[in-house]
Amino acid sequence: MLPTLSRVKPPRWLSPDILSRYILGHEVRGNELSLFSHSISPKSAAWRLKVTAGIRNVSTSCTLCAKARGNQKKKDMSEKKLTRHFIDYRRVKLMAGSGGKGACCFHSEPRKEWGGPDGGNGGDGGNIIIKADRFVKSLAQVVPVYKGEDGQPGGSKNCYGRNGSPTYIHVPLGTLVKEQGKTIMDLSEHGQEYLAVFGGAGGKGNRFFLSNENRSPMTATSGMPGEERVLQLELRTMAHAGLVGFPNAGKSSLLRAISNAKPAVAAYPFTTLNPHVGIVNYRDHEQVAVADIPGIIRGAHLNRGLGISFLRHIERCRFLLFVLDLSSPEPWTQLQHLRYELDQYEPGLSQRPQAIIANKMDLPESRERLETLRSHVTERVIPVSALTGQNTEELILHLRELYDGYLQEKAQHERGMDEESEKLARILWDYLRLHHRLEKSDVIIGLGCHDLRVAERSAALFLEGWAPWLLFTGNLGKQTAGVWTRREADVFLDVALRMGVPRGSILLETEATNTGENIRFSHRVLKERNIPASRVILVQQPFMERRVYATFLRQWPEQVDLTRAIVTSPELGIFEYPHPAVGTACDLICYMLGVVERIRDYPHKGFQVEQQLPPSVLCAYNWLLQAGYSPK
């Protein structure tokens, strides 16, 4: 007999009353717990609709379950005919929208023949943005060419053309964006975006060229063409779980049984030639992707059978489901061989979180072998029959347990620090930020550093209208010398131009190599240009706010009560700060320790005003030093 579901450990998301009914053998109604599945169809853009349509109930009885699934007859489809295979690589050509052209026309109304020029500017072309979306599981729906929306032309009566809307390309988490083979972005967070190509700036209408010298300009410019790029998108992770087994073990049948993916099934080896991914959807909307990987044979690591390429796919799964054919004479030797092949390919690969699936339990010979198999292994063995659907619920529940464990581990990894370090890092983070309220000012000063989000925040503040001028300051500094070849202010300038800040509103200071010089030299540039600076907005990284303010109060060449400074930074939480270009959570701690030291030491050197370091901050500083973090 197969073990009943009473063996199943209740998962956290299953309430006890549902579980009791579940174990007692009543069928659970769909609105209490339902599992539904679907496959990824590259041709179906509306797959989410399919998901909601595909809800099925979970029943405890295998027969009921099989009945509920209806027709068990599977179509024999050749692998070639199957178009629904998993896509993990795409080459895309991106062409951002062009700017709309500016209008050339003059105001006219009855009895007022010679009105002034009133041709509006064209709108900017739409950007193309690649966005990580946790609901997308493959690159199948990514098309080879994207063209952004063009900006609308300007019109008469000073009407500006509408900007082209951005085009989003939704990709799965774990997508690498590459250009000429070089990785330029790793999209691993839900909602993370990469602005791949910028739309062209809109042309100027003739109103723009109105001056004292020329009261009726006839000039209007056409919009700039959008940026063009060819990028490669590559999926780093393939699926959460990989079905690993010898040919004919029933992997494809199992994927059919637990999801609506339809990989080909046949009674000969190597039926599956391409990996397929099916999605198991849980009632709380969590989705687990399961990959059917072509069969592995002895010597696969030496490229026998379908060879190494499929071991590569296994490497890209978070946990493994070893599928054994229990009707074969010694299924436990299959397991040993599979593990051997995996470890030959990559040492330790067979140790990933896993479950052992004993398949073909409907056959009489299999039942005898189950206990022997259990005595050979220490891991949990889940007996199932992919053909009849027996006990697949236990597999689905266990899959969820593995997935929850993976999420926990991932969260820990993302934090990049243990709980105690995290608590103390937060104390420093909160102390170093000032939370100044924004006020309309004369100029926004973006202080150069290696974090482009500072440039983006500065430009965004300008575009929101917080000041009529944007000044970027910075040569190569401590974080950028030896890393960047261009000066910080120049790099920031590019970011702001791409975001649509007019060049005429941007000032540059390209000499400063530290925060003090940023402050003093910016003041000099403003003085030279006769730009008033009774209120300035200073933008830096979040943990630099306090240091920048203290430096301003000491080094701003005018009396500080004549100039008011508001310090701000990109709006990031402590865990959003880490970024491939700026460093990990550990780097952040090291930076924060460095800033605390400067707050302590710099006042004596005349660089900053004196500030109190609260005992909690000193305590956190000392603890983190002891824990091995070194100030940067």
Nearest distance from residue 314's CB to ligand GTP, in Å? 13
Given 68, 159, 266, 531, the residue binding ligand GTP (CB under 6 A): 266
- Residue choice 125, 278, 294, 474 for contact with ligand GTP (CB under 6 A): 294
Cβ atoms within 10 Å, residue 37: 24
325, amino acid identity: D
Which residues, listed in sequence order, are joined to residue 537 by a DSSP beta bridge?
444, 566
Spatial separation of the C-alpha atoms in residues 532 and 454, rounded to whole Å: 23
Q: Near ligand GTP by CB under 6 A, which window of 175-183, 379-387, 483-491, 554-562?
A: 379-387
Closer by beta carbon to ligand GTP, 354 or else 359: 359
Which residue among 10, 30, 42, 269 contacts ligand GTP (CB under 6 A)?
Answer: 269
Helix, strand and coil percent figures for the chain, each rounded to 5: 35, 20, 50
Q: How far apart are CA 172 and CA 169, in angstroms?
A: 10
**Shortest distance, position 271 Cβ to Mg ion, whole Å:** 5
User: Distance (Å, rounded) from C-alpha 595 to C-alpha 543?
Assistant: 8
Find which of Mg ion, ligand GTP, none residue 363 binds, CB within 5 to 8 Å per kind: ligand GTP
- Amino acid type, 404: D
When asked if residue 363 is in the footprint of ligand GTP (CB under 6 A), the reply is yes
Q: Which of residues 302-361 bind ligand GTP (CB under 6 A)?
A: 359-360
Residues that bind Mg ion (CB under 5 A): 252, 271-272
Consecutive H or E run containing 281: strand 276-281
Applying CB under 6 A, which part among 52-60, 132-140, 244-252, 492-500 lies near ligand GTP?
Answer: 244-252
In the sheet with 443-447, reading across from the earlier edge strand, the strands are 506-509, 469-473, 443-447, 535-539, 564-568
Q: What is the dihedral of CA 235, 239, 244, 247, to 10 degrees?
A: -70
Considering only CA atoms, which of 512, 468, 517, 509 is closest in space to residue 490? 509
Q: Which position among 240, 251, 318, 498 is part of the footprint of ligand GTP (CB under 6 A)?
A: 251
Nearer to ligand GTP, 158 or 359 (CB): 359
Q: Which CB atom, from 122 or from 305, has the smaller least distance to ligand GTP? A: 305
Taking the least distance from each CB to ligand GTP, the nearer of 327 and 555 is: 327
| Distance, CA of 568 to CA of 524 (rounded, Å) | 21
The tokens 């700039």 sit on which residue? 224
Cα–Cα distances (Å) from 230 to 92, 151, 177, 180, 196, in that order, read 6, 22, 10, 8, 10
d(CA 179, CA 192): 18
Instruction: Report what 362 binds from ligand GTP, Mg ion, none; CB cut-off 5-8 Å by kind.
Output: ligand GTP
Answer for which of 10, 42, 225, 247 binds ligand GTP (CB under 6 A) is 247
Please state the closest distance from residue 390 (CB atom) to ligand GTP, in A: 8
C-alpha span between 215 and 99 (Å, rounded): 26
Asked if 318 contacts 339 with a C-beta cutoff of 8 angstroms, the reply is: no
Report the distance separating Cα 339 and Cα 322, nearest Å: 9
Binding residue for ligand GTP, selected from 59, 60, 253, 540, defined by CB under 6 A = 253
The side-by-side arrangement of strands in the sheet containing 34-39 is 55-57, 34-39, 276-281, 287-292, 239-245, 317-325, 354-359, 381-383
Window of 21-29, 381-389, 549-557, 588-596 that interacts with ligand GTP by CB under 6 A:
381-389
Contact 89, 232 (CB under 8 A): yes
Look at the block and give the residue holding tokens 């500094």: 477
DSSP 8-state secondary structure symbol assigned to residue 208: G
Q: What DSSP assignment string belongs to 451-476?
A: -HHHHHHHHHHHHTTS-SEEEEE-SS
Residue 36 φ then ψ, to 5°: -135, 155
Task: Count residues near ligand GTP (CB under 6 A).
Answer: 24
Q: Which does 332 bind (CB under 5 to 8 A by kind): Mg ion, ligand GTP, none?
A: none
Going by the DSSP 8-state scheme, the letter that residue 603 receives in this structure is H
Q: Which is nearer to ligand GTP, 152 or 385 (CB)?
A: 385
In the stretch 208-237, what mask flags binding to ligand GTP with x, by CB under 6 A? Answer: ------------------------------
DSSP 3-state assignment of 630?
Answer: coil
Chain position carrying tokens 């009885």: 61
Residue 183 DSSP SS3: strand
Residue from 385, 441, 479, 515 in contact with ligand GTP (CB under 6 A):
385
The answer to whether residue 555 forms part of the interface with ligand GTP (CB under 6 A) is no
Using the rule CB under 6 A, which residue among 97, 203, 250, 278 binds ligand GTP? 250
369 binds ligand GTP (CB under 6 A): no
241 binds ligand GTP (CB under 6 A): no
Is residue 270 a contact residue for ligand GTP (CB under 6 A)?
A: yes
Q: Which does 46 bind (CB under 5 to 8 A by kind): Mg ion, ligand GTP, none?
A: none
Shortest distance (Å) from residue 388 CB to ligand GTP = 7
387 binds ligand GTP (CB under 6 A): yes
Query: Which residues is 165 bridged to in the sheet?
Result: none
Find which of Mg ion, ligand GTP, none residue 152 binds, CB within 5 to 8 Å per kind: none
Which residues between 601 and 620 bind ligand GTP (CB under 6 A)?
A: none
Q: What one-character DSSP code corresponds to residue 6?
A: G
Applying the rule CB under 6 A, the residues between 128 and 147 that interact with ligand GTP are none
Phi/psi-derived region of residue 620, left when phi > 0, alpha when psi is between -120 and 50, beta in every other case: alpha
For residue 323, the minimal CB distance to ligand GTP (Å) is 6
Cβ of residue 18: shortest distance to ligand GTP, in angstroms? Answer: 28
Of 249 and 395, which has the nearer Cβ to ligand GTP?
249
CA dihedral 125→126→129→133, nearest 10 degrees, is 180
Applying CB under 6 A, the span of 62-70, 348-356, 384-392, 612-620 interacting with ligand GTP comes to 384-392
- Which stretch, 176-184, 259-267, 410-418, 493-501, contacts ligand GTP (CB under 6 A)? 259-267
391 binds ligand GTP (CB under 6 A): no
In the bound complex, what is the minimum distance in angstroms from residue 252's beta carbon to Mg ion?
A: 3
Span near ligand GTP by CB under 6 A; candidates 102-110, 231-239, 245-253, 527-535: 245-253
Output the CA–CA distances (angstroms, integers) from residue 268 to 281, 579, 626, in the order listed: 30, 48, 62
Question: Does 252 contact ligand GTP by CB under 6 A?
Answer: yes
Name which of 322 and 591 has its Cβ closer to ligand GTP. 322
Could you say whether residue 59 binds ligand GTP (CB under 6 A)? no
Residue 383 interacts, among Mg ion, ligand GTP, none and using kind-specific CB cut-offs from 5 to 8 Å, with none
Query: What one-letter code names the amino acid at 307?
Result: G
Q: Which tokens is 449 given?
A: 């550093």
Q: Which residue's CB is nearer to Mg ion, number 258 or number 444?
A: 258
Least distance in angstroms from the C-beta of 62 to ligand GTP? 11
Residues that bind ligand GTP (CB under 6 A): 245, 247-253, 265-267, 269-272, 294-295, 359-360, 362-363, 385-387
